[in-house]
């Protein structure tokens, strides 16, 4: 596992034990609050307490100072093929996505597999002060103030085994409500994958909100991945399953068009997509184009993950 030479946004080292203790403490607290009238304003219903607190999330040390894309653009120009392939389809149809109840299952090469309700996962992260706000360029088109916690916190809790080399993630499959899944746009459910060291990098977030709100449905409610140094499609939405495994997973886009979409998908101005140049990009809401930066500007933080690899071959 590589060493991280830069400041970590998290305040404390988290052991699985302390995470567990906090889960238990939080559950006790919730139970107390649930049966009394304690602090009604602060805890409007224990199940939703974390949603009310998102505005207080402190800034990540990795945030850019680029100006933010408007909430309106962030929520009306989306890729979420579960609702159709047009940019407006997600804002038109994502209200059908059922996000409550929601749980995330962790399985495969882990010492402690299991499925936890989303509320429990997020509230445990809140208690440990591990929720923060990362302002970064997403999908090379928008600058979004995400709110979330490091994927590695969740993975560490479940104790990856020595054979856990890769992480495979899956989106909800629910064709009754996700109308795009009634058509064979891709092989559903949407799948993505990361190498374990990429998944354990502190920049890799599980985001549960943006601006001061819980995640809008069209952006991948209630929990989605954010991998700031990769192209947008790696950031899988509405995650229900995370599997650790020995073999490299095949992502949906790779399965669909392997010559166009590689497993790594690192933002790289020097490697063109077969049908277009990737040297320049346009921010939504801006008129001109700008030079694309290697690893989306996070070269210092992530380049060591790919030392010795030919990035034209492993695109």
Binding site residues, Mo ion, CB under 5 A: 79, 232-233
Compare residues 121 and 178 and give the one whose CB is closer to ligand MTE: 178
* Pairwise CA distance, residues 255 & 180, whole Å: 18
Residue 79 sits in the site that holds ligand MTE (CB under 6 A): yes
Considering just the CA atoms, what is the radius of gyration of the chain in Å?
A: 19
* Pairwise CA distance, residues 112 & 124, whole Å: 17
Q: 2-17 burial, b for 16+ CB within 10 Å, e for fewer?
A: eeeeeeebbeeebeee
Compare residues 73 and 129 and give the one whose CB is closer to ligand MTE: 73
Q: What crossing angle do the helices spanning 16-35 and 118-127 adopt, rounded to 10°?
A: 110
Residue 281 sits in the site that holds ligand MTE (CB under 6 A): no
* Pairwise CA distance, residues 249 & 204, whole Å: 18
Among residues 26, 50, 81, 188, the one that binds ligand MTE under rule CB under 6 A: 81
Among residues 10, 217, 235, 292, the one that binds ligand MTE under rule CB under 6 A: 235
Compare residues 22 and 171 and give the one whose CB is closer to ligand MTE: 171
Say how far residue 64 (Cα) sits from the centre of its chain.
Answer: 17
DSSP 8-state code for residue 16: H
CB of 82 to ligand MTE, least distance (A): 6
Query: Regarding beta strands 166-171 and 205-210, do their DSSP bridges make them parallel or antiparallel, or are they unpaired?
Result: unpaired
Question: Which residues lie below 8 Å from residue 94, measured CB to CB, with a gap of 6+?
Answer: 80, 83, 216, 217, 218, 221
Work out what residue 81 binds among Mo ion, ligand MTE, none; the CB cut-off runs from 5 to 8 Å by kind: ligand MTE
Residue 102 sits in the site that holds ligand MTE (CB under 6 A): no
Residue 236 sits in the site that holds ligand MTE (CB under 6 A): yes
Residue 139 sits in the site that holds ligand MTE (CB under 6 A): yes
Residue 296 sits in the site that holds ligand MTE (CB under 6 A): no
Q: Return the residue matching tokens 């890729």.
A: 79
Stretch touching ligand MTE by CB under 6 A, among 29-37, 228-236, 258-266, 294-302: 228-236
Q: Restricting to residues 177-196, which ones interact with ligand MTE according to CB under 6 A?
A: 190
* Pairwise CA distance, residues 167 & 1, whole Å: 15
Work out what residue 82 binds among ligand MTE, Mo ion, none; the CB cut-off runs from 5 to 8 Å by kind: ligand MTE
Compare residues 22 and 218 and give the one whose CB is closer to ligand MTE: 218
Would you tell me which residues interact with ligand MTE (CB under 6 A)? Answer: 78-82, 138-139, 142, 171, 190, 219-220, 232-233, 235-238
């Amino acid at each position: 596992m590589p060493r991280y030479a830069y400041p970590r946004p998290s305040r404390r080292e988290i052991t699985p034990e302390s995470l567990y203790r906090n889960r238990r403490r939080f559950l006790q607290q919730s139970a107390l609050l649930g049966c009394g009238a304690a602090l009604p304003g602060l805890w409007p219903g224990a199940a939703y307490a974390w949603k009310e607190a998102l505005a207080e999330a402190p800034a990540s040390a990795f945030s850019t100072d680029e100006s933010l894309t408007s909430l309106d653009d962030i929520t009306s120009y989306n890729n979420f093929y579960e609702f159709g392939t047009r940019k407006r389809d997600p804002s038109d149809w994502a209200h059908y996505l059922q996000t409550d109840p929601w749980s995330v299952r962790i399985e495969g090469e882990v010492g402690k597999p299991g499925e936890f309700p989303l509320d429990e996962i997020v509230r445990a992260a809140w208690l440990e002060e591990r929720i923060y706000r990362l302002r970064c360029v997403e999908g090379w088109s928008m600058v979004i103030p995400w709110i979330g916690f490091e994927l590695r916190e969740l993975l560490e809790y479940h104790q990856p085994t020595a054979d856990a080399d890769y992480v495979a993630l899956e989106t909800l499959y629910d064709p009754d409500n996700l109308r795009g899944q009634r058509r064979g746009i891709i092989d559903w459910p949407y799948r993505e994958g990361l190498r374990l060291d990429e998944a354990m990098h502190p920049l890799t977030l599980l985001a549960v909100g943006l601006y001061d709100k819980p995640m809008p449905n069209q952006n991948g409610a209630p929990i989605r991945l954010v991998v700031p140094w990769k192209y947008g499609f790696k950031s899988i939405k509405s995650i229900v399953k995370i599997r650790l495994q020995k073999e490299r997973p095949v992502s949906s886009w790779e399965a669909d068009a392997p010559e166009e979409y590689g497993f790594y998908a690192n933002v790289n101005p020097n490697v063109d997509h077969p049908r277009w140049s990737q040297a320049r990009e346009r921010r939504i809401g801006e008129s001109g184009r700008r030079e694309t930066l290697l690893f989306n500007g996070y070269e210092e933080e992530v380049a060591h993950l790919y030392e010795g690899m030919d990035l034209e071959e492993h695109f």
